[in-house]
Structure 1
Amino acid sequence: MRIRKFKMNESGLERFFGPLEAKIMDILWNDVEMTIKDVQHALEREKMTNFNTVMTVMNRLVEKGILQKRIEGRVSLFKPILTRVEFLNTQSKEMTNELMNEFGNVVVSHMLDALEDVDDDLVAKLERKIKELKKDM
């Protein structure tokens, strides 16, 4: 599953999805399987949108390979293909690889500069990872 558009000016899930898609994914990542009506009811609490719109967006998420659809009797059940953590890991890894392939040293330099603003645990984790990589060389 590959997200084609990453929106720099957005935050959270809306960097990867449209606003309604992000809300639907947020709902589905908090449950096991849900029907369109279940998701619509969860969105209604936020006064969001109607059944047909939710159905269209959820079916598009199936087409994009984000959701899995299973039919049970006359009901369609939906669930994310990946967990939230798996999805974010996959997307961040793909973005990092693309940046490295296209911009190489510049990206590494900016990532190192960004380490000045993070906690010591992350820096220690990076140091361990670098040591592991050097052992394998």
Structure 2
Amino acid sequence: MHRLGQLESAIMERMWSRPGPAAVRDILEDIQRNRDIAYMTVKTVMDTLHRKGLLDREPDGRAFRYRPTQTREQYAAAHMQEVLAGGSDRTATLLHFLEQIPADEVAQLRAVLDRAEQDKTQASK
């Protein structure tokens, strides 16, 4: 998985926020509310995101309509997995992570882990 650049992140955030597929022009118009940017720049980055496997596309006349291949949460989880794999000691990495998050998020994590364990137990029956 590649880390996203600034414009890639801006485009992906907009794609994840949309209810359906989007053309380059749709994303361009949204980005242009905050900054001046050329159509070809947005098109090139969206094509790059497609090559990286983050966007799927389908023909729409002479252009394409794009959609994310995964949710924002799936992307974040894959990124977290990559970070964990990059450390030499997963346990130490996880402990440092837990030291940095607020207590209420630790409680949420504990609840999610409990639910995942129950799901695995039920699936194995």
Q: Note closer, same or farther for the CA distance 1:25–1:48 as it changes in structure 2 (3 Å cut).
A: farther
How far apart in 2 are the matches of 1:79 and 1:93? 23
Match of 2:58 in 1: 70
The Cα shift of 1:121 comes to 0.6
Deviations 1:34-67 (A, max 9, x none): 0000000000111241101000110011111111
Q: Matches of 1:83 and 1:112 in 2, distance apart?
A: 27
RMSD: 2.6
Kindly, what percent of the aligned residue pairs are identical?
Answer: 23
Q: Is the 8 A contact 2:84 2:93 kept in 1?
A: no
Please give the residue correspondences for 1:3-22 in structure 2 after superposition, counting only pairs within 5 Å: 3=2, 16-22=3-9
TM-score normalised by length of structure 1: 0.70
Query: Does the Cα contact within 8 Å between 1:62 and 1:69 map onto a contact in 2?
Result: yes
Aligned length: 115
1:41 aligns with 2:29: yes
Contact 2:16/2:72, CA 8 A, preserved across alignment: yes
CA distance in structure 1 between the partners assigned to 2:112 and 2:71 by the alignment: 25
Separation in 1, partners of 2:23, 2:68:
12
Distance 1:121 1:41, change over 3 A: same
Summarize the Cα distance change of 1:73–1:114 in structure 2 as closer, same or farther, 3 Å threshold: closer
Matched, 1:121 2:104: no
Return 5+ residue gaps in structure 1 as ranges: 4-15
2:108 corresponds to 1:108: no
Q: Which amino acid letter does the alignment assign opposite residue 121 of structure 1?
A: A
Kept in 2, the 8 Å contact 1:40–1:54? The answer is: yes
Relative contact order higher in (CA < 8 Å, ≥ 6 apart): 2
Taking the aligned partners of 2:59 and 2:93, their CA distance within structure 1 comes to 47
Structure 2 residue 47 is matched with structure 1 residue 51: no
The TM-score, its normalising length taken from structure 2, stands at 0.76
Name structure 2 gaps, 5 residues minimum: none
Residue 29 of structure 1: SS of its match in structure 2?
A: helix
Aligned to 2:17: 30
- Structure 1 residues 49 and 121, CA, compared in 2 at 3 Å: closer, same or farther? same
